Structure 1
Amino acid sequence: MSAIILLLFGLGGMALGYVFYSKFIAQHIYKLDENFKTPAHEMEDGIDFVPTNKFVLWGHHFTSVAGAAPIVGPAIAVIWGWLPAFLWVTIGTIFFAGVHDAGAIWASVRNRAKSVGALTGEVVGNRARSVFMIVIFLVLLMVNGVFGVVIAKLLINNPGAVVPVWGAIVVALLIGQLIYRMKASLPLVSILGVGALYFLIYIGPSVPMALPEQIGFEAIGYLSDSAAWILLLFAYAAIASLLPVWMLLQPRDYINGLQLFVGLILLYGAVLIANPTVVAPMINIDVPEGTPSMIPLLFVTIACGAISGFHGLVASGTSSKQLDKETDARFVGYFGAVGEGALALAAIIAATAGFASLADWKAVYHAFGQGGVLAFVNGGATILHAGTGIDEVVASTLLTVMAALFAGTTMDTGLRLQRYIFQEWGEIYNIKWMGKALPATLLAVGSCLVLAFGAGGADGTGGLIIWPLFGTTNQLLAGLTLLVITVMLVRRKIASAYTLIPLVFLLVMTLAALLLQLKGFYESQNWFLLGLDIVVLVAAILVTLECASALRRTKREMAEADA
């Protein structure tokens, strides 16, 4: 089958969803009000609360939530065949992700930009908030710990990506100054920024850079190149999380968003020109031994790209603090989800049509968990070369930089969000020093490094140990975020079916996946993950019961008021 069919149906469905469905949700469900004074204006401080142009904020939101996950998940899930992954990404983007992301921004903006964890305390209750914030912390710990490893591996495997990945930070700093200090034209700045970024991508393969095999000092021992990159990445992320959002976070995310769209245009254009054939089966009935059941695992393997709880953390953690007008939530939240869906669709096409034959595809997908970023990079580079004539090394560097930059922006935002969690804990439990930015940042970095090196040893890959639980924990978070939004809608006497149906589906699939994983961890005698799985499962049940109780209580209060 031609990959063009997937491209047209996938992008066409998402475009129609944004034009029609998102407009209905914005006007009739969330009832976005252009005249509502957003926290970015009410609490403006020039650091975290900054009214922001919706296009720039879209870039921040989209690239922060995207990361490597919408590439990794779909490129692994095609082991069950391309059709299930394609349907979940397309339908999930239209009816799940867009509603979730825009709703999380709206809910936070209507409550002084509080995070979804803190918001749970007001909407549901303090017990639910305490449990919910533990789930949030675990998700952030997983994201930050693993993405550090992912970026390190990408830089080690492709030294030509080092210059553009780190050079993008310098470009972002200059863009921030041009936009906010010099008030330069946004279109001009965008052209200059994208041009500079792609120039770095072009010259990157000519100046490959790699750390020495072992670096360090005799007194403290040597570090592997993987460990050294991880430490450098967390040092950068800590500094970035403390800088004002306009200085680095916003412009870095914005320019990355633009370069992604340029990259997607190139990749999709190459598909239209080369017309590659999808060699993977539509539904794979000959899965490798040990591959888990597609249902419910498909719906947690593909999170980002269909719906993801991490999006709610970004939406209520940073995006809501920068929203200029409440009506911008539709563009920033829903269209941000569409952008991620488009990236997930590209990953599916690259991982199914970027191979010469079915035998070549099976050679890569010989076990569950195979494929991922490398399948996207290699398959995408093949399609780019065939369709545009771009040298395969340059094409591979372009896609590697795309993946690394998104993972990096997610780390930037993720560490800032983790800092917010510690600060909120400081406020809740009256620990004054924890409520300050620097100590909270050090706690956030310290917890990630303890996981990375404490569980993973000298190479710093400890985050990968708990990664098998990311999908279920992340989707649980999405369901619980939808629960909070649903309670708010019920209290406002607004139709809640548009959030209630997705949340019921997510909770059922996630709880089923947690139970399935529980059985697998027990059989493999992985007691650490077994215990962590039980913690997440209990948390899911407790918060769900608390939210159900809050819904019943709200309906009873409304009935009494009407009487």
Structure 2
Amino acid sequence: MSAVLVLAVGLILMALGYFIYSKFIAEKIFRLDPNFRTPAHELEDGVDFVPTNKYVLWGHHFTSVAGAAPIVGPAIAVIWGWAPAFLWVVFGTIFFAGVHDSGAIWASVRNKARSVGSLTGDVVGKRARSIFMIVIFLLLLMVNAVFAVVIANLMMAFPSAVVPVWGAIIVALVIGQLIYRRKIGLITVSVVGVAALYGLILLGPSVPVQMPAEVAGMSGNAVWILLLFLYAGVASVLPVWMLLQPRDYINGLQLFVGLLILYAAIVLLNPSMIAPMFNDNVPAGTPSILPLLFVTIACGAISGFHGLVSSGTTSKQLNRETDARFVGYFGAVGEGMLALAAILVASAGFATLADWETMYSAFGQGGVTAFVQGGAYIISNAMGVSDVLAATMLTVMAALFAGTTMDTGLRLQRYIFQEWGDIYNIEWMKKGLPATVLAIASCLLLAFGAGGADGSGGMLIWPLFGTTNQLLAGLTLLVITVMLVHLRRPIRYTLVPLCFVLVMTVIALVLQMRTFYEQGNYFLLVLDLVVLVASILVAMECASALKRHRAIAAQEQP
């Protein structure tokens, strides 16, 4: 089948989802109010609470939620065939992710921009809040520790990407000054910023930076990981307008341009989908497509991490409540478009079926490697650019996505410690600097304490990311649903997605427990059990709150 046809169908369906379905959800279900005074205005402090242009905020939100996961998950899941991955990404984006992301922003904005874990205490109960925040902390720990490894590996494997990846930080600092200090128009700043970033990409292959294999007794990967956490720690305490917002915005534009280049290359080359539509000849050891498809592809269809960003940083910068539709729902659409690109290049970016089968000789293979190699194959053949330049551009895309997610993730982890300080009245933990130190220390403890000198400890618990992430998405939808019941609004548009996600994820957790037991991996077995029990307890608390609020709503009806 033609990759162009698959691309066209996917984009048309997502466009219909945004222009029709998201409008219905925003106006009839969440009832977004343009006159509501958002926390960005009510609590404005110039650091975390900053009213922000919706296009700039969309850039922050999109690049923060995207990360490397919408590339990795879909590019792994095509091992079951490209059609199941395509259907889950497209319809998951329309009916699941968009509602989840915009709903999490709305719920947080209506509760002083508190995180979804913190507001659970008011909406559901204190016990649910305590358990929920532990699950959130574990997820952020996984994301921050693992994405540092992903970026470090990319920079070790592709030295030509080092200058563009780090140079983007300098560009972002300049952009922040131009927008907020010099008051230069957004269009001018956008053009200059994107040109600067692509100039760095063109420069990258000419000045590759190769980290030595060993530095002061540490591996090159470990040095990059330490530098990344040092940077993320500084970035997490700077005012959002200075680095986080402009970095995410300009990266979002650059990444969107990169996505358009990739789509244009697919249209020009018009490759065939080499991968099977439905793959019955999967390698030995490949788990069942049900329910693993729905946790392997999280970001790109629906992801609990999105709820953390929506209620953690995005809600604190929302200028008008109605912006939640564009920022949240269209942010999910942007990620769905990235996941769609990953499916296409991982399915059509190979010369022969044999080449594809070599890449996917075992479950878990593919990922970023398939995205970079497949995308470079399509771009170089369609546009005549060198393989090195095409691979550099796609590597920078993946690294910048992961980097902006890590920036936001560490800031969110700092918020978790500060919220714990508020909840348990620990004064010193309420402050930004001590909370940031705790966030970095916990990540480094996992990275180097569990992983040894190479800093790869986050990979030890990464097998639980998919299930933990999807559980968080289901639980976030539960909180939103409880709020809708309290407001006496229709709940089926959130209830159906949350039931589907929770059922599939609980089954996947149980299957993972059996796998960990058979492998003798008792550490992950115990952690899996903890996550499963925590999710069941929170779900029971939410169900009880749902029943209670429905009873109250029924009594209040005339």
TM range (shorter): over 0.9
Find the counterpart in structure 1 of residue 252 from structure 2.
257
- The answer on 1:466 being equivalent to 2:461 is yes
Q: Look up the equivalent residue of 1:416 and give its one-letter code.
A: R
Q: Look up the equivalent residue of 2:397 and give its one-letter code.
A: M
Contact 2:165 2:399 in 1 (8 A): yes
- The answer on 1:106 being equivalent to 2:101 is no
Find the counterpart in structure 1 of residue 19 from structure 2.
19
Q: TM-score if structure 1 supplies the norm length? A: 0.99
Find the counterpart in structure 2 of residue 386 from structure 1.
381
- Of residues 416, 427, 437, the one that matches 1:421 is 416
CA–CA separation in structure 2 for the residues paired with 1:261 and 1:442: 33
What secondary structure, in the 3-state scheme, does the structure 2 residue paired with 1:208 have? coil
CA offsets, 1:77-113, max 9 Å, x none?
Answer: 0000000000000000000000000000000000000
- The answer on 1:280 being equivalent to 2:269 is no
Q: CA deviation at 1:212?
A: 1.8
Q: CA deviation at 1:561?
A: 2.8
Contact 2:485 2:553 in 1 (8 A): no
Q: CA deviation at 1:64?
A: 0.2
Displaced runs of 4+ in structure 1, greater than 3 A?
A: none
- The answer on 1:543 being equivalent to 2:538 is yes
Q: CA deviation at 1:562?
A: 3.2
Instruction: Spell out the pairing of 1:240-255 with structure 2 (5 A cutoff).
Output: 240-255=235-250
Q: CA deviation at 1:559?
A: 2.3
Q: Look up the equivalent residue of 2:184 and give its one-letter code.
A: A
Instruction: Spell out the pairing of 1:329-348 with structure 2 (5 A cutoff).
Output: 329-348=324-343
Instruction: Spell out the pairing of 1:282-301 with structure 2 (5 A cutoff).
Output: 282-301=277-296
CA–CA separation in structure 2 for the residues paired with 1:213 and 1:407: 23
CA–CA separation in structure 1 for the residues paired with 2:2 and 2:203: 33
CA offsets, 1:100-153, max 9 Å, x none?
Answer: 000000000000000000010000000000000000001000000100000000
CA–CA separation in structure 1 for the residues paired with 2:212 and 2:476: 45
Find the counterpart in structure 2 of residue 219 from structure 1.
none
- The answer on 1:499 being equivalent to 2:494 is yes
Find the counterpart in structure 1 of residue 66 from structure 2.
66
- Of residues 307, 316, 332, the one that matches 1:312 is 307
Find the counterpart in structure 1 of residue 168 from structure 2.
168
Q: Look up the equivalent residue of 1:10 and give its one-letter code.
A: G
CA–CA separation in structure 2 for the residues paired with 1:13 and 1:44: 38
Find the counterpart in structure 1 of residue 392 from structure 2.
397
Q: Look up the equivalent residue of 2:148 and give its one-letter code.
A: G
- The answer on 1:510 being equivalent to 2:538 is no
Q: CA deviation at 1:536?
A: 0.2
Q: CA deviation at 1:480?
A: 0.3
CA–CA separation in structure 1 for the residues paired with 2:155 and 2:447: 18
CA–CA separation in structure 2 for the residues paired with 1:389 and 1:261: 21
CA offsets, 1:212-256, max 9 Å, x none?
Answer: 22112xxxxx11101000000000000000000000000000011
Q: Look up the equivalent residue of 2:328 and give its one-letter code.
A: G
Find the counterpart in structure 2 of residue 187 from structure 1.
187
CA–CA separation in structure 2 for the residues paired with 1:101 and 1:138: 20
Find the counterpart in structure 1 of residue 201 from structure 2.
201
What secondary structure, in the 3-state scheme, does the structure 1 residue paired with 2:227 have? helix
- The answer on 1:407 being equivalent to 2:407 is no
CA offsets, 1:36-88, max 9 Å, x none?
Answer: 00000000000000000000000000000000000000000000000000000
CA–CA separation in structure 2 for the residues paired with 1:280 and 1:286: 11
CA–CA separation in structure 1 for the residues paired with 2:38 and 2:390: 42
What secondary structure, in the 3-state scheme, does the structure 2 residue paired with 1:390 have? coil
CA–CA separation in structure 2 for the residues paired with 1:156 and 1:543: 41
Cα root mean square deviation, aligned: 0.6
- Of residues 343, 364, 381, the one that matches 2:359 is 364
Contact 2:179 2:185 in 1 (8 A): yes
Q: CA deviation at 1:184?
A: 0.3
- The answer on 1:531 being equivalent to 2:526 is yes
What secondary structure, in the 3-state scheme, does the structure 2 residue paired with 1:35 have? coil
Q: CA deviation at 1:555?
A: 1.3
- The answer on 1:327 being equivalent to 2:307 is no
Find the counterpart in structure 1 of residue 234 from structure 2.
239
Find the counterpart in structure 1 of residue 41 from structure 2.
41
CA–CA separation in structure 2 for the residues paired with 1:242 and 1:45: 13
Find the counterpart in structure 2 of residue 130 from structure 1.
130
- Of residues 483, 487, 504, the one that matches 2:482 is 487
What secondary structure, in the 3-state scheme, does the structure 2 residue paired with 1:246 have? coil
CA–CA separation in structure 2 for the residues paired with 1:82 and 1:403: 21
What secondary structure, in the 3-state scheme, does the structure 2 residue paired with 1:171 have? helix
Q: CA deviation at 1:210?
A: 1.3
Find the counterpart in structure 1 of residue 4 from structure 2.
4
Q: Look up the equivalent residue of 1:494 and give its one-letter code.
A: R
Q: CA deviation at 1:393?
A: 0.5
Find the counterpart in structure 1 of residue 32 from structure 2.
32
What secondary structure, in the 3-state scheme, does the structure 1 residue paired with 2:215 have? strand
Find the counterpart in structure 1 of residue 514 from structure 2.
519
CA offsets, 1:242-273, max 9 Å, x none?
Answer: 00000000000001110111111111101111
Percentage identity across aligned positions? 72
Q: TM-score if structure 2 supplies the norm length? A: 1.00
- Of residues 425, 442, 446, the one that matches 1:451 is 446
Find the counterpart in structure 2 of residue 117 from structure 1.
117
CA offsets, 1:263-289, max 9 Å, x none?
Answer: 111111011110011110001100000
Q: CA deviation at 1:411?
A: 0.3
- Of residues 548, 553, 556, the one that matches 1:553 is 548
What secondary structure, in the 3-state scheme, does the structure 2 residue paired with 1:174 have? helix
CA offsets, 1:450-482, max 9 Å, x none?
Answer: 100111111000000100000000000000000
